Amino acid sequence: MKNNEKSLRQAHEAALKASQTDQLTGLPNRRHILGLLDEALAANENTGSGLCVAVIDIDHLKAINDAHGHKAGDAVLEHFARSCRARVRAQDRLGRTGGEEFLLLLPELRLDPAVHIIERIRGGFPPAVLEHSELELSCTFSAGVTEALPDDDRSSILRRADRALYTAEEEGRNRTKIGSERSL
């Protein structure tokens, strides 16, 4: 009976983890990272200790997929996830929201230090090396970052970060832009 309970508990934990994890990168998936964003917004509302979010998009991933195949694109996504995790603080959370887009939660942080972390990630983002071919793929990313405002919810903070990301892409990519205006 105890073995069955243990097996059921382990199976439940494995299923829960699988439902919250992006299979390719091992990061929280869209549903899970958005839930973590909701929790971080609530915590910031209670403490006022600061929260920044960044929406990050790998530049020109479609061109990499078209030129080198989807395995190369997948390698770039995995490479970005590893590089980013190695350069953020323990309390920061990175999740893959879809395709080549990621969401980075930076709790207990104000805007200037948040931008510094994103630029540290950019500076430590070497080319991805494809297994077996030793082909190096130069990769860059664009980011939109914003700080939580009083009464922000998921939609409002993501809208500001998304607009900042679009500005970064329109201005030539491989840069970080700040989303500071409240949405109307």
Q: What is the pLDDT of residues 15-74, one digit of tens each?
A: 666 678 999 999 999 999 999 999 999 999 999 999 999 999 999 999 999 998 998 899
Q: How far apart are CA 21 and CA 173, in angstroms?
A: 28
Domain boundaries, the chain: 2-178
Cα-Cα end-to-end distance for the chain: 59
Q: How far apart are CA 176 and CA 178, in angstroms?
A: 7
- What six digits make up the tokens of 43? 């915590």
Q: How far apart are CA 42 and CA 154, in angstroms?
A: 10
Q: Which of 100, 147, 169, 181 is catalytic?
A: 100
Q: Checking DSSP bridges between strand 141-147 and strand 176-178, what pairing results, if any?
A: parallel
pTM of the model: 0.89
92-148 residue pLDDT tens: 999 999 999 999 999 999 999 999 999 999 988 877 877 767 778 888 999 999 999
Whether 147 is catalytic = no
pLDDT attached to residue 184? 43
132 three-state secondary structure: coil
Residue ranges with strand state E in 66-168: 93-98, 101-107, 128-129, 136-137, 141-147
- What six digits make up the tokens of 96? 């893959």
For the segment(s) 2-178, the CATH number from 2.130.10.10, 3.30.70.270, 3.40.50.300, 3.10.450.50 is 3.30.70.270
